[in-house]
Amino acid sequence: MKTRAAVAFAAKKPLEIVELDLDGPRAGEVLIEVKATGICHTDYFTLSGADPEGLFPCVLGHEGAGVVVDVGAGVTTLKKGDHVIPLYTPECRQCKSCLSRKTNLCTSIRATQGKGLMPDGTSRFSCDGDPVLHYMGTSTFANHIVVPEIAVAKIREDAPFDKVCYIGCGVTTGIGAVIWTAKAEAGCRAVVFGLGGIGLNVIQGLKMIGAEQIVGVDINPSRNELAKKFGMTDFVNPKEVGGDLVPYLVDLTKGGADYSFECIGNVNTMRQALECCHRGWGQSIIVGVAPAGAEIATRPFQLVTGRVWKGTAFGGARGRTDVPRIVDWYMDGRINIDDLITHKLPLERINEGFDLMHAGTSIRSVVEF
Ligand code: NAD
Ligand code: AHE
Ligand code: ZN
């Protein structure tokens, strides 16, 4: 079949809207009509050329929602008409990682996914006979996608696609980092570095679990008002702090953060996030994705004295199990997604979504097909 997609033909070049050929679902796969997709900073990161796994030409996008329009042989858990969110972190429930119950990082198809290919080693997209690669196993910047059954969460049918697509990455990553990775507890003090599409969801998660203090750190002063609405108690603009940021944050949190979250992807702020944690127990969670070649550093003494460095992917969520629950939280009014979707665009204007992200004027732009 033919489908419309925004294609990244090369790093650093604007996406081009083209009609692609798409092969149908094979055994264990489903064909999804994508109805809406968010634009995450990670899409920009890969387009910028900073992603060691960035391969071109490809169809980016990993924050979508849509409807199953066809299923391949042997598919048992999904049928035509199901409303779904594609998962860049699948949940096969059979691999060593899934069975360990210690991680959400299902490994069953990770190797081919990282090469932009389906599990059988082929690409289903092509343009004038030349293959176009998949991205993160999802490629939600295409109107139709083929994905493995194990990488699809079935969701309720009354959930609006243009809102719950954001649960495909940002909402789940931010809230999940608090509840599943950090397992933060009521009464804690936390510092969140970066108040964009991820950091504001970390704040929302901290508010949900009853954090005592939620400090937000961002160089964009316009983030202050929205972050306060989501539960931030103190805003810190590093450009306005005279002197070192770390002792300032330690003082503000009365001895150091119980939890900090780095939601920027900058190795300098990763160090600050670790070092503003409380001696003896403070945990710092790395959410941000840093460019190829970047490395983190700190004095080992920071760890000897009890601070803990952790990371999270997709908030530690097990997608097929947890994503439908998060959709319920939204539909029950327990989480706010609407106020974070600041812009809606048709596919033809998708590049404007990246411009808005850079200008710091959007939180999430959502593209509707
Ligand atoms: P975003 O662009 O919406 O937000 C980034 C925020 O960081 C902005 O508000 C910006 O002003 C702020 N910022 C930039 N430099 C700063 C600095 N030096 N000090 C303080 N604030 C600064 O991006 P996003 O979509 O929220 O994504 C954030 C990061 O999380 C990215 O690196 C992205 O790739 C990553 N991410 C990781 C996962 C995961 O599973 N680990 C999932 C989604 C996104
Ligand atoms: N490909 C990059 C790493 C990118 C990365 O860390 N991705 C996160 C999701 S970001 C979503 O916005 C992730 O899930 N990581 C776990 C995994 O298996 O990719 C690189 O540096 O190579
Ligand atoms: Zn993302």
Q: How far apart are the CA of 46 and the centre of ligand 2, in A?
A: 10
What pLDDT does residue 362 have? Answer: 98
∠ CA(315), CA(143), CA(158), 5° rounding? Answer: 60
Task: Please give the ipTM for the structure prediction.
Answer: 0.99
Angle between helix 245-252 and 267-275 (nearest 10)? 40
Residue 342, pLDDT score: 98
pTM score, whole prediction: 0.98
pLDDT digits (tens, 9 = 90+) for 195-214: 999 999 999 999 999 999 99
Question: What does the pLDDT look like over 294-329, one tens digit per residue?
Answer: 999 999 999 999 999 999 999 999 999 999 999 999
The vertex-252 CA angle with 247 and 257, nearest 5°, equals 80
Which residues neighbour ligand 3 (ion) by CB within 5 Å?
40, 42, 169
What 8-state DSSP symbol labels residue 11? T
* Pocket of ligand 1, beta carbon within 6 A: 40-42, 45, 169-170, 173, 193-199, 217-220, 223, 238, 263-266, 269, 287-289, 312-314, 357, 360
Query: What ligand has the least distance to the C-alpha of 315?
Result: 1
C-alpha–C-alpha distance, residues 323 and 257, integer Å: 29
In this prediction, residue 59 carries a pLDDT of 98
> 362: which 2 tokens?
């959007």
pLDDT band per the 50, 70, 90 thresholds, residue 288: very high
Determine if ligand 2 sits within 6 Å of the CB of residue 50. Answer: no
- Count the Cβ atoms, other than its own, within 10 Å of residue 98: 20
Ligand nearest to the CA of 44: 1
Alpha carbon of 193 to ligand 1 centroid (Å):
8
- What domains can be seen in the chain, in order of their start residue? 2-168+337-368 (3.90.180.10), 173-313 (3.40.50.720)
List the structure tokens of 263.
């939601």
Residue 120 contacts by C-beta under 8 Å, 6 or more apart in sequence? Answer: 26, 112
Residue 186 makes CB contacts below 8 A (sequence gap 6+) with 209, 210, 211, 212
251 lines ligand 2 (CB under 6 A): no
Chain mean pLDDT for the chain: 98
With cut-offs at 50, 70 and 90, classify the pLDDT of residue 33. very high
**What is the average per-residue pLDDT within 229-248?**
97
